[in-house]
Amino acid sequence: MKKLLVLLLVLAMALSLVACGAGADKATSEPSPSAAVDAAETYDVVWVTCSTQSQFWQYQQIGMENAVADMEAQYGVTINFSTVGPATEAETEGYIRAFENAIASKPDVIISATQVPDSTVTVSKEAMDQGIIVNFTNCGLEPVGSTQYADCYNQFYTTSSADVGKLAGQQMLDMLKAANSPLKGYIAMEFSNVNASLQPRMDEFKAYINANAPDIIVLDTLYNNNDMEAAQADIENEIATYGDELIGIYGANNISGDGIALAVENAGIKDKVITIGVDSDSTEIAALKAGTLDSIIVQDAYGQGYNSVKNAIETLINGKNPESEQQLAVAPVAVTTQNMAEEKYAALLDPTILKKK
């Protein structure tokens, strides 16, 4: 019996050594390139939007949702995507609370766009410190070229506000010339005052007009707090004040463009004034088709949203940001009544046509 017990113990020790040896070999072997996704990971992604009502941010979300579908198919992962945020951009305190609540839910990723960058720095840094990947789309913590808050986010996809303003100025003068309008008179400007970091959209527009058409007077910007009715009232007052001497109107976001289109339609002056908006929504698209807006300066809202999610998932899978630059800016594009039906412009105006079924 004792010999049998000894034999069993020897066999058990041998098996133990074999098992440990196998484990050591496995632990020291190099993982395959797809090891990070072989385990069928599940990731939680929260989109903290600054406005659930704005179609511009809904266009961004379409890009995000398509990216979710593509990343799941490409990497074999599961992505739980959710949206939180206030109804309007003006509800900035609600936005910060939504961001804080998102952090508390401990997701893997937060995608956001902020109208109040100064107030967002702290919460974004808090999320990053907790290991949450934070990517910004369109409106981030700092302008392109600044690195002051580089440790507070992972990646930022945007379009330069200065480029938007300059292109709008070029488009205004080109369209005035095409209409054989004398480069003399007044141009009104309308904008939301929610996000001060977007002010270059106004400054660069005015600078371009002043430098290239000195006989045109660019009026002071009227601010509407991102309220369409206020924007419409502002422009109706400018139309009444300057009459036939008003040769152009520029609105630097979609809500301002909406107000301009409605005011011009009500006044019946679409053939007497050049009108330019920025960023698109259904009201602006209808106005462009009708001619109450002559041009819309658009960003690639869909692409910004898509890449913000794609980058975040690939950062998680690869363990590092795949982009070589932390900030990537894409040039804006001018869409007009004449080219809006072309495929590439139509998709920029209305990304709903790109939404996956």
The predicted-structure confidence for 207-216, as pLDDT tens digits, reads as follows 999 999 999 9
What integer best gives the mean pLDDT of the chain?
90
Q: Is the pLDDT of residue 5 over 70?
A: no
The answer to whether 270 and 28 have CB atoms below 8 angstroms apart is no
Q: Where are the domains of the chain?
A: 39-159+300-330, 162-298
Per-residue pLDDT tens over the stretch 91-119: 999 999 999 999 999 999 999 999 999 99
Paired strand residues for 42: 78
Tokens 């999320």, located at residue? 127
Selection from 139, 224, 159, 162 nearest residue 188 by Cα: 224
Residue 357 — pLDDT band, cuts 50, 70, 90?
low
Q: Is the pLDDT of residue 33 over 60?
A: no
Are 39-159+300-330 and 162-298 the same fold in CATH? yes
| pLDDT for the residue 234 | 98
The pair of structure tokens assigned to 203 is 């400054």
Domain spanning 162-298, CATH class: alpha beta
Stated length of the chain: 357
Sheet holding 246-251, edge to edge: 216-223, 185-191, 246-251, 274-278, 295-298, 333-336
Q: Is the pLDDT of residue 74 over 90?
A: yes
Q: Is the pLDDT of residue 28 over 60?
A: no
Selection from 328, 264, 306 nearest residue 61 by Cα: 306
User: What average pLDDT does this structure show over 187-201?
Assistant: 92
Q: Answer whether CATH 3.40.50.2300 is correct for domain 39-159+300-330.
A: yes
Q: What percent of the chain has pLDDT over 70?
A: 89
| CA Rg value for the chain | 27
List strand residue ranges (DSSP E) for 147-281, in order.
155-158, 185-191, 216-223, 246-251, 274-278
| pLDDT for the residue 196 | 85
The pair of structure tokens assigned to 108 is 């893997």
- What is the DSSP code (8-state) at residue 285? H
Per-residue pLDDT tens over the stretch 233-266: 999 999 999 999 999 999 999 999 999 999 999 9
Per-residue pLDDT tens over the stretch 148-168: 999 999 999 999 999 999 999
| pLDDT for the residue 197 | 86
Higher pLDDT pick, 28 / 340? 340
Q: Find the distance separating the first CA and the last CA of the chain, reported in whole Å.
A: 72
Cα–Cα distance between 310 and 43 in angstroms, integer?
12
Q: What percent of the chain has pLDDT over 90?
A: 86
Cα–Cα distance between 222 and 233 in angstroms, integer?
10
Cα–Cα distance between 88 and 74 in angstroms, integer?
35
Q: Is the pLDDT of residue 69 over 90?
A: yes
- CA angle 291–192–84, rounded 5-degree value: 105
Residue 215: burial class (beta carbons within 10 Å; 0-12, 13-18, 19+): exposed
Per-residue pLDDT tens over the stretch 333-347: 999 999 999 999 999
pTM over 0.85: no
Q: Is the pLDDT of residue 15 over 70?
A: no
Distances in whole angstroms, Cα of residue 75 to Cα of each of 35, 133, 312, 316, 317: 11, 18, 13, 12, 9
Q: Which of 16-25, 80-89, 201-210, 223-232 has the lowest mean pLDDT?
A: 16-25
| pLDDT for the residue 59 | 96
